[in-house]
Amino acid sequence: MTTWNKPLPTINGETKTFWDMARRGTLLIQKCDSCNEFQWYPRGICSNCWSSDIKWFPSTGRGTVWTYTVTNQNRTQGFDTGPYVLALVELEEGVRMFTNIVECDPKDVSIGMSVEVTFQQATPQISVPLFKPAS
């Protein structure tokens, strides 16, 4: 386990299941049982129809880079040591999430590139979903 010195998420009632499954290597998104819409980020209501009838849905964890930036300057601890790739990845289910693209040279990242989820353990409770080039 590499040392995680970046910000950590808060686990609360809305997100406990998400982080429990992330620890087991599954990326969950949400789907509404009333209107069948997917949504990202996880929350306590369906943001489309405002129903509470939302269910967790395992994403395939595959997607494409919708856009990205190689960031050279960020004073936040853990991000202040050099370039990293901040990206919006569009999952196969059609929702886009912020993430980092890892396990490749930042110069090789491009829009439309196929990526898949990988989890980095930050603490015994928290594994953070990141994306790497699809195998």
Partner 1 sequence: MVDLRRAAAIVGVHEHITRYAPDKSELQIQAESIQKALEDAGLEKKDVDGLFCASMSVRNSGLNLADYLNLYPKMVDNTTVGGGSFEFHLSHALNAIHAGRINCAVITYATQARSGGVSVGTGGISRQGHPRLDPSPDSFEELYGLTTVGLYAMIAQRHMHLYGTTSEQLAEVAVTMRRHASLNPEALFRDPITVEDVMRSPVVSTPLHRNDCCVITDGGGAVVVASPELARNCKQKPVWILGAGEAVAHQGAGKRDLMYIAAKQSHAPAFEMAGVTQKDIDMAMIYDSFTITVIETLEDLGFCEKGEGGQYVLNGRIGLGGDMPINTDGGGLSSNHPGMRGLFLLLEATRQLRGQFEGTERQVPDCKIALCHGTGGALGSRHSGGTVILAKD
Minimum CB separation of residue 73 from partner 1 in Å reads 5
Minimum CB separation of residue 135 from partner 1 in Å reads 22
Minimum CB separation of residue 33 from partner 1 in Å reads 15
Binding site for partner 1 (CB under 8 A): 6-10, 12, 14-15, 37-43, 47-48, 66-76, 78-79, 84, 86-88, 94-100, 111, 128
Phi, then psi, of 108 in degrees rounded to 5: -90, -5
Task: Label residue 101 exposed, middle or buried (CB < 10 Å: 0-12, 13-18, 19+).
Answer: buried
Across the beta sheet with 54-58, what order do the strands follow? 38-39, 28-32, 54-58
